[in-house]
A and B are shown apart, each in its own frame.
Chain A
């Protein structure tokens, strides 16, 4: 059952990265859109994510609940030493969720919209940035359980080149996902062109941030290269990801709107796979070589069995309903705003 729980944790993270990521990315794209086009982008975006944003955001909750029920030591260690970035991320989540809803449900349309838009756009950027920083910090080996001063316990645990680069990489990835997704959401050629340009921009940004991640890992003695290239799964995943990226760009220009989404999702899956496979099951790597492991640091066996069963039974209800939700709103794309 432990493996069922771990699988669910991994899937929840993956789905949060893909679905939630595209969702954050929509705000990032809006940030990089010129004024005259903002309104249309916003509309396209809202039609795409309106019905599912609450559900997207649930993957994070599922991951957190799995952590604190099943792996309490991992949860509490991270929340103690990464307190500050977590609080910033939470502020981002609050600001973004409320701004998105407020701007859409405010009965009076006036200058307040500008305020909502600003908050929405900035928080769409901040949240994945810190999410990435938190993920990076977990494996950067900077969490020091024996630290005695404030800075090394609560600041340097996350404020370092490696973690911050991962943060920017995450932002670029979210933007890329969103651009790819939005290409398929509009029928206007000029708008599609704009989204393709955004996808390019984000792709370049991801490559730059990725290079920075590797450079930082070398400078800071994090065996990232070994995790990625030191094993057959890693090499296979990286190769598949590269091939699929080329394919993705060919298909974008052929106007295939749905298959490119699958390929973009595949990219993210491969990235998560390579980065988690080699150091699995040690998801938090501590200073001085210690680590917290999914296999060793889990809660009582009975709890794991109960948690696994709850997840299995829950997914029987959730997955079909979620698929039906996404499918119904894909099938009849129409202007949602007119509906209420």
Chain B
């Protein structure tokens, strides 16, 4: 495998792995805080059990998120030294604040996980809330570093030199808000659906129904609200992309020709050689409308972008289609849930309703991976949009292929281990957490 491909693949693998754990580490504390709150208020032991069961899962995810994040902060230099040499001081501000956020998170987690019966119960609850808040803060900060790569600001680039550096301005680059908003909502949507799905499965299997129903409700409500907001924030993101990265937008849409009444292209198979899309649904004027708020103004197509500045079209297009399709699906499930909530309460006991949620368990995370592929692959061939090319940033050390294989093996093993451990956690629910069977825990 050539060095450059290997480095890109290793980066993608590490980030794709980390994002799952960081999303869960960011969102689960909120679920726990709600359940914990309900326990403190109602004194129903089932809520305490849900909180404790979740907190064990979170500890496992946390450790994995923390170590994979540590790896990332080294990998930036291991794989992209030329990039970090220049970018470090410019986009480093969010990373240094993120350090603080992580630290607070780690401390609060220590209090929370080990603090049962040791502290004032509201102080203990509060440390759980702090874990969640600082997790979200670190997510927002790291995404703001990434959005700088998409819309680099806060410096002047003159004759290959980076001068006039202003790290604060770089942090609040034009893309940070739309990306941070979209990412945070995505984390809630994906984690909410995933957790709800697992509990729905257990309800269907008629195991510890009371326990799983309570857990399902909490997770589902978060997931539903987020998945309804998500397309709205996606629209804001798309408008931002159109403004700052027309090549990415064109690749997302497989939009080859610049013309009036630019169509919105849904699905289809991009034929890059002949510059057309086969089997797609084309809605004339809609892309123009989404970008410019009127149906006529043309949207810049790939024909106006030099080939050497174009991202891989097929990957970007497919990923975008997958994300949007799954987003619509999740919103649809959200609407069904709301109807059930207000009208057909009996749906909650119907198998088809539960099956819907079980089937939806992984969709949020698939959408997240797809979305990041859009963002990152769509930025190619640039590592810093318009300033530095990815191939100029890669490490001079040969043999990165081996390192990529090693990391692949390690991450695969870890994924299997985490799934195995979660399976065992769930299997043990009847023995440890079900209050119909008294236990010492």
Mark B412-427 against chain A: 1 for CB-CB distance below 8 A, else 0.
0010010001001101
Q: How many A-B residue pairs have CB under 8 A?
A: 215
- What is the bound-complex CA distance between A293 and B62, given in angstroms? 36
Least Cβ–Cβ distance between A11 and chain B, in angstroms: 13
Taking A93-B71, A105-B56, A107-B424 as contacts, is the C-beta distance between A61 and B102 under 8 angstroms?
A: yes
B332 CB within 8 Å of chain A:
no
- What is the bound-complex CA distance between A301 and B116, given in angstroms? 46
Q: Are B71 and A76 in contact (CB under 8 A)?
A: no
Least Cβ–Cβ distance between A4 and chain B, in angstroms: 12
Q: Are A318 and B428 in contact (CB under 8 A)?
A: no
B403 CB within 8 Å of chain A:
yes
A101 CB within 8 Å of chain B:
yes
Taking A60-B70, A150-B398 as contacts, is the C-beta distance between A306 and B63 under 8 angstroms?
A: no
Q: Are B103 and A314 in contact (CB under 8 A)?
A: yes
Given the complex, which residues of A lie within 8 Å of B63, measured CB to CB?
A: 54, 97-98, 100-102
B388 CB within 8 Å of chain A:
no
B60 CB within 8 Å of chain A:
yes
From B60, B78, B88, B116, contact of A105 by CB (8 A): B60
Q: Are A340 and B56 in contact (CB under 8 A)?
A: yes
Taking A70-B89, A72-B89, A318-B104 as contacts, is the C-beta distance between A106 and B116 under 8 angstroms?
A: no
Given the complex, which residues of B lie within 8 Å of A322, measured CB to CB?
A: 103, 107
Name the CB-closest residue of A to B108.
A321
Pick from B26-34, B160-168, B244-252, B363-371 the stretch touching chain A: B160-168
Q: Are B60 and A102 in contact (CB under 8 A)?
A: yes
From A57, A101, A306, contact of B70 by CB (8 A): A57
Q: Are B100 and A52 in contact (CB under 8 A)?
A: no
B312 CB within 8 Å of chain A:
no
A66 CB within 8 Å of chain B:
yes
Q: Are A61 and B73 in contact (CB under 8 A)?
A: yes
Given the complex, which residues of B lie within 8 Å of A153, measured CB to CB?
A: 397
Total A residues in contact with B, Cβ cutoff 8 Å: 65
- Chain B interface SS verdict (over half): helix
A10 CB within 8 Å of chain B:
no
Taking A64-B73, A105-B59, A303-B165 as contacts, is the C-beta distance between A69 and B64 under 8 angstroms?
A: no
- Chain A interface SS verdict (over half): helix
A300 CB within 8 Å of chain B:
yes
Is the interface on chain B under 10, 10 to 19, 20 to 34, or 35 or more residues?
A: 35 or more
Name the CB-closest residue of B to A100.
B63
Given the complex, which residues of A lie within 8 Å of B85, measured CB to CB?
A: 72-73, 76
From B68, B81, B86, B110, contact of A51 by CB (8 A): B110
From A60, A69, A91, A339, contact of B96 by CB (8 A): A69
B74 CB within 8 Å of chain A:
yes
Q: Are B165 and A302 in contact (CB under 8 A)?
A: yes
Q: Are A65 and B99 in contact (CB under 8 A)?
A: yes
- What is the bound-complex CA distance between A340 and B397, given in angstroms? 47
Mark B157-197 against chain A: 1 for CB-CB distance below 8 A, else 0.
00000000111100000000000000000000000000000
- What is the bound-complex CA distance between A75 and B52, given in angstroms? 41
A residues with CB within 8 A of B: 50-52, 54-55, 57-58, 60-62, 64-66, 68-70, 72-73, 75-80, 83, 86-87, 90-91, 93-94, 97-98, 100-102, 104-108, 150, 153-154, 299-300, 302-303, 306-307, 310-311, 313-314, 317-318, 321-322, 325, 328-329, 332, 336, 339-340
